[in-house]
Structure 1
Amino acid sequence: MKLVSASFLLVALIISSCFLETTMSGSDFCDSKCAKRCSKAGRRDRCLKYCGICCEKCHCVPSGTFGNKDECPCYRDMKNSKGKPKCP
């Protein structure tokens, strides 16, 4: 019985790690693009957070460290609760 439980646990762990790796690999695009976008930001951690949120929703990040938001209309048009631009 213990052998069956241990085997089941091992298989479940392997399967879950495969799903986790697949999920995390999808954010590599956003991580690299946001790192470039936020490289000169004064509050880098905050910039990376909001850039990551916007990138996941829009699947794009404008080039450069500032401006160029016309390259990605979804990113440009996303607003916060106060009606101001959400994406850095």
Structure 2
Amino acid sequence: MEGDIAQMGAYLGAGLTAIGMGGAAIGVGNVVGNFLAGALRNPSAAGGQTATMFIGVAFAEALGIFSFLVALLLMFAV
């Protein structure tokens, strides 16, 4: 009985980490959307900001990857 409760908690925690993965997707959308809005307003400055956009996307995706790793640890480490 105790093992079942621990496994249920692990699966529940792994499911909750999906919120972190969804948050990463929203973050990437915000970064790229704001970049495109700025690039359409001032196309001449867009080239200089492309590297900054990719850095922002990388940081947002890293949080999603960390969330995925936590989900895997919760599911298979118990």
Question: TM-score, normalised to structure 1's length?
Answer: 0.36
By relative contact order (CA 8 Å, sep 6+), the higher-ranking structure is 2
- Between Structure 1 and Structure 2, the one with more helix by share is 2
